[in-house]
Structure 1
Amino acid sequence: MHEQLAELRDRAEQVVAPDTWSYLNRGSGDERTVQEAHDAWGRYRLRPRVLRDVSTVTTELDLFGPWRTPIGIAPTAFHALLHPDGEVATAAGAAASGAPMVVSSRATRRLEDIAAAIDGPWWFQVYLMRERSITASLIERAAAAGATAMVLTADTPYVGHRARSAALSRPLPLTDEQALTNMRDHLPADVADIWELIDQRADLSLTDIGWVADVSHLPVIVKGVLRADDAVACAEAGASGIWVSNHGGRQLDRVVPTAVALPEIVAAVGDSVPVIVDGGVRDGFDALTALALGARAVMLGRPAMWALAAGGSDAVTAMLAELSAELAHALGLAGAARLGDLDPTMVTTR
C-alpha cells in the first residue's frame, strides 16, 4: 500500500468511532475478497517502451465529463459518519484535484449542495429501490443538479452478510435524518416502514438500464460486472459504460478480484463502451496496470474515506494529487506520454 494511504488509514482509525470503522472496512463472509483485492494487482509486471518522447506527460481524459486524472472516487454511503461536512467535503476535494466523483444514493448531504461544491461534471450512483418512484425522483434531481452520467449498481439485490458485526440496514451512529437526507422529500405519506421502501430491489433486469436512461436522459454505466458475457449483455441493452467491481468485497465473498476480471471484460466489449474499475487500487502502479489493461478510469472507495476522516477535503485533494502524480511519473517511465499510449502488451503476469 502507498505510504500516504497507510498514514491516512491510521489517522482515520484514531478519530472514527469503532463501530463506524468496522462498517467502513469490513467485508462479507470471511473477507477473502477484501484480502485478495490489492495483491491481485501486484501479480502483474510492467513491460515499458523505450525511446518515446515523454518530455510532457498528461493524465487528462474525457469520460462523461473532462477530468485531469483518471483516478476518482467510487460511490460510498454516509460520509457524514466520517466528517461533519460529509459528501460536500469529499466533493470539494475531488473537484480541486480534477478527479471524477460518483455521489451515492445514500449521501448524507443534499445533492444540490454536493453539486455546488463540485461546480463541474459528476456522476450519480443509482440503487433501484423497492419503491421505484423514489429512485426516479432522485435520478431526476441528480440530472437537474448537473450529473453527467448515472451509475446503476447491479450487484446488490440485497445486502451481503458482513463479517465482524451483525448485518445492519445502516450503521448505528447514523440518524434517520442523515440517512434520509435526499429521500425524505420523495417518501409517500403515512409509511409504516421507510427502510423497507428504500431497500434495494431484488428483481433487477437488463431492461432497467433503459429505464434509468429514459428517466435521466443521461448515459448509464452498469456497476458490479465481473463476467464478460454480462458486460456484453449490458452493452447490448444500452449501457454506455461497464464498471468492473466486486463492491469492495462487501457483497458475495470469494468472487474473483477485479484485476482478474478486467482483461476478459475489456476484450469482450472492445471499443463499444468504456470500462471502469475499482477494487484494491492503492497506488499509482496499480492504476497504471488497470489503465494498461484497458480501463478508462480507476476508482477508489475506502482510501477516499480514510482521507476524508483524517483531514477533510484538503486530505482528499492531497491523496488524489499524490496518486495522480505517481501515475504520471510511472506513465513516463513506461514510455507513455498520455493515457491513450497504454495498451495490454505493456503488462504481463509472466
Structure 2
Amino acid sequence: MQARLLLEDGTLFTGKSFGAEGETTGEVVFNTGITGYQEVLSDPSYCGQIVTMTYPLIGNYGITRDDFESVAPSVHGFVVRRHETVPSNWRAQYSVDDLLKEYGIVGISDIDTRMLTRIIRHHGTMKGIITTSTKSEQELREMLLSTDLRRDQVARTSTKHIYSSPGAKERIVLVDFGAKSGILRELTQRGCDVVVVPHDVTADEIRKLHPDGIQLSNGPGDPKDVPHAVKMISELLGEYPIFGICLGHQLFALACGADTERLKFGHRGGNHPVKDLRTGRCYITSQNHGYTVNEQSIANTELEITHINNNDKTIEGLKHKKYPAFTVQYHPEAAPGPFDNSYLFDEFLQMIRDHKNQHPEKPRQAILAAAVKGDF
C-alpha cells in the first residue's frame, strides 16, 4: 500500500506503508542512532512526534519485550528508508511492522530519509502528516495547517497513580514526567526504595513520602508547558537532594531562575559527545530533546555549568552552588557507552548520604515529644 508524508513547507514524500493504516500528524524529527530503534519507539519523550531514522536499515534485529522503555509506544509516526520484515536475532519476538500495527502507529518506508533529514537540519523541525488515504494533496495541506502540535505530552505519558518499587536502601521519589524504565532500573539495581509519583505532584505530597532524595525524570515537550513542576521543584530545592535528567534538567533550571529555548532540530541519537568540565573527559551520550537551557540566563542564578555538548557547546549539565542538586541534559540510563554515564546515579546516592550526615534527623520519639509539648 502507498503512503505519503507531507511537511508543512509543502514537501511531499511518497513511499510504502507499513504498520497501521490511517493518518497521523506530529512534529517531524530525526534520530541518528544506528541501533536502538525499539528504545526510540518506546521512549515517552517522543510523544507527539513523527520520528525519522537516519540509519537506512531498521528492524533487522526485531523487537523483544525486554527492551521496552515504557509500557506502550508514544510516537505518532515512524519514517524509515527500509524496514526489515523478517528479523534475524534469537531474541526477536516479532517485527517492527507487527509492533506498529499492535499500537496503531502509522509508518512509511522507501523514501529518501537523507533528503528529509537535510530539510529538517536546514529549516528546523516542522509539522508533518503521514497518510495511507487517497486524499488530495490540498486536503492534506489544509488538515496539516489546521492542526496544532500537542502541548499536553507530559500529562499523557506520566503515571496517573503513585506506585512503588520497594528496596532496602535510600528512598527516592521519582517524579514521572514521561520516565523511561531505565531510570527506575538503575535506581532499583542500587537497592533504592523508589516511589514513582505523577507529574502534578505537589511539594507537600512529596514531603509526606519522607524521601531521602528526589529524581526528576525525562519527558516530552516544552518545559514551560509544565509550570506546576517548576513550582514544586523551587519549593523543595535545598530541602532534599535532587537529580534531574533531560526534561527534569530543564525544569530544574527554570526553577532556579534560568531560561530555556528551542533548538533548531534538537539532539536525538546515541552518539553525542559531552565534555565534563570538571575532569575534561568526553563521554558518548544518548540524547532526545528539542529544548536547551539558555547559557546567558545562567549568569544571574546560583547554577554552575558542569557539562557542555562538544558539537554545538549547548549546556549538558548543571550543579547548584549552594544546595545538593545537579542535573544532566542527556540520558545516563540509556547505556550507549554502554555504562560510561551510570556513575551519575552513584554520585546522586553519595550526595544523599553526605546530606544526611550533615543534616541528621532527630529520632522519631523526639519529634513526637516536641509535637506534644507544642514546640512545633
Q: Taking structure 1 as the reference length, what is the TM-score of the superposition?
A: 0.30
Larger radius of gyration: 2
Structure ranking higher on relative contact order (CA contacts 8 Å, 6+ apart): 1
Kindly indicate which of the two structures has a greater share of residues assigned to strand: 2
